[in-house]
Chain A
Amino acid sequence: MNKFLNPRSVFGITLIAVALLALPFVAAMGGQAWVRILNFAILYVFLALGLNIVVGFAGLLDLGYIAFYAVGAYTYALLASPHFGLHWPFWVILPIGAVVACFFGVILGSPTLKLRGDYLAIVTLGFGEIVRIFMNNLNAPINITNGAQGITLIDPVTIGSLKFSNTTQFLGISFSGPQKYYYLLLALALLVIVINLRLQNSRIGRAWQAIREDEIAAKAVGINTRNLKLLAFAMGASFGGVAGGVFSAMQGFVSPESFSLIESIMILAMVVLGGMGHIPGVILGAVLLSILPEALRYGVGPIQVALFGKTLVDPESLRMLIFGLALVLVMRFKPAGLWPSPERKRELQDAGARNG
């Protein structure tokens, strides 16, 4: 604790806090769209840290993580929209979403307990697709999810009389809807960061790490590997469910399209690219991978015009090309991720020294 109390750390933390609090107003100068991009960046931090529990801590490769996000999003959408005529408050639905997603996590976890690595990846990938296809087709015989059209007019977050959908005046400053969501998301993200940090340095976190390192040895010292793997799936899924609920409220609209395989892959890429199992690295990965494509979306076109006087390549394809190239380069030159944990860095260096 003491290391946080020296004057330099206090100054640094204060500076970061002020920057984070002021950020939505800086972003708003470029338009509310940038605030929304920020919001998604934080939402992805949340998702990536949830997946980090499964992949980074317990070492279980999960390619269907987006399914839990979808479950959370639909739970919110069904309980707070005109679709079923239900309008439950957000702070009731969010925990329900977490519990439902957790249940799905156990459903996915239990048949895959004996699988590892590639095999586990394939099964989880299938699971993610199953959930999406269910969402797409559960409109008959009973219309539950409204199929491909999705669910619209979802209630925004409301706390007391504070509605998150419109602009509010507070202390003479006007807060737009996205700016309010920003602070809500920031609070949730801080919560998930604290939970991640505390889990990592706990009895449970050590047991997960032991399973990742050597499952047989972990069993031999009395770790119930089955229960702990299920716990990792369940916890990761719960975070996905909460993120899905917030997404639903923020967008006001969900459809199966938002939960495609590419989303699962993106979140996994955030974890791996940032530095698997290392919390600051995962945060960095999530922020970069969610903001970079958007920055390219707005930047690629004008830069071409400035350089060549006209648009040579379709900005949309060029954007994905640059993005893909950036991913390849990072993995080539920083295989442990952009900001790996000290142990993981050493691990890869040792492996390199042996092979090379």
Chain B
Amino acid sequence: MAELLLQANNVAKHFGGVKALRDVSLSMRKGEIYGLIGPNGAGKTTFFNCLTGLYIPDGGGFVFDGKALLADAPHQAAERGIARTFQNIRLFGNMTALENVMVGRHVRTKAGVFGAMLQSAATRAEEAAIKQRAMDLLHYVRIEERADDLAKNLSYGDQRRLEIARALATEPKLLCLDEPAAGMNHTETEELRELIDGIRRDGTTILLIEHDVKLVMGLCDRVAVLDYGALVIEDVPAVVQKDQRVIEAYLGA
């Protein structure tokens, strides 16, 4: 059995009386594509937000790469190696595509105010490296010809790709994708599948929230199903697809 990358232990989150997550425990192995599915409002995005530090869980916690994750510290989650994209794309709209990815390098670089003011050799070298790496990543997600366009002027599919490139710029161990195929047509989804598969082959573990069941079942090594904030099952796609509770909760609908 492969080494564990992430363990969620009894993660709970409620908003007022609504229990968005009820003691969810799951575990991700290094190098797999892990799908998280469930009907609308099942708690998938809440789980993402707890994991990436945007929400503080009311109970439980995460162990990532052998060490506990701090709650309420999104920038530290990124530093530890968790990157994410958003369901409703969140790019820096008035910055160019290239600049968006360059911002992603922030956490792996260190030039400070004085370096910038003095333009020391180290700062200039780092700046050149940031730019080079950002260009490489734009090439990797195949939008390098849009490098100098403002992010908000990119097509929908390209914006999704740019968000993935920005997340990859932080050199994540775990890449969390929140409904990356939402609103995409068949061809675009097919291209996305290739991209995700490629990212995994290059060594990044992927957590995928997705509504497109066909995409999830075809791409993921293991799948977890959430319903009303509780974990229904966590297993390989073939088993999950045949599970009676899953069919009732989700697939049957």
Q: Check A217 against B94 for contact (C-beta < 8 Å).
A: no
Q: Which residue of B lies closest to A199 (CB)?
A: B116
Q: Check A202 against B86 for contact (C-beta < 8 Å).
A: no
Note all chain A residues with C-beta closer than 8 A to B86.
217, 220
Cα–Cα, bound, A80→B249 (Å): 77
B94 touches which of A199, A203, A213, A235 (Cβ 8 Å): A213
Stretch in contact with the other chain, from B26-34, B99-107, B195-203, B238-246 = B99-107
B54 touches which of A219, A224, A235 (Cβ 8 Å): A219
Enumerate A259-296 residues with CB–CB distance to B below 8 Å: none
- Residue A185 interfacial (CB < 8 Å): no
Note all chain B residues with C-beta closer than 8 A to A214.
90-93
Interface size class of B (residues with CB under 8 A): 35 or more
Cα–Cα, bound, A224→B94 (Å): 20
Note all chain B residues with C-beta closer than 8 A to A221.
78, 83, 103-104, 106-107, 166-167, 169-170
Q: Check A219 against B116 for contact (C-beta < 8 Å).
A: no
For the residues of A in contact with B, the DSSP-based class is helix
Q: Could you tell me how many residues of chain A have their Cβ less than 8 Å away from some Cβ of chain B?
A: 30
Q: Check B117 against A222 for contact (C-beta < 8 Å).
A: no
Note all chain B residues with C-beta closer than 8 A to A202.
111, 115-116, 123, 127
- Residue B204 interfacial (CB < 8 Å): no
Q: Check A222 against B75 for contact (C-beta < 8 Å).
A: yes
B168-184 near A? 1/0 per residue, CB < 8 Å: 01100000000000000
Note all chain B residues with C-beta closer than 8 A to A347.
94
Enumerate A214-265 residues with CB–CB distance to B below 8 Å: 214, 216-225, 231, 235
Note all chain B residues with C-beta closer than 8 A to A163.
none
Q: Check A220 against B95 for contact (C-beta < 8 Å).
A: no
B116-142 near A? 1/0 per residue, CB < 8 Å: 110100010011001000000000000
Note all chain B residues with C-beta closer than 8 A to A71.
none
Note all chain A residues with C-beta closer than 8 A to B170.
221-222
Q: Check B113 against A216 for contact (C-beta < 8 Å).
A: no
A224 touches which of B75, B103, B109, B127 (Cβ 8 Å): B75
- Residue A210 interfacial (CB < 8 Å): yes
Chain A interface (Cβ < 8 Å from any Cβ of B): 195, 198-199, 202-207, 209-210, 213-214, 216-225, 231, 235, 343-344, 346-347, 350
Question: 9 tightest A-B contacts by CB?
Answer: A222-B78, A222-B107, A202-B116, A219-B74, A213-B92, A217-B90, A224-B75, A203-B111, A210-B103
> What are 8 residue pairs bridging A and B, where the CB atoms are less than 8 Å apart in the complex?
A203-B106, A203-B126, A209-B103, A218-B103, A220-B83, A222-B75, A346-B150, A347-B94
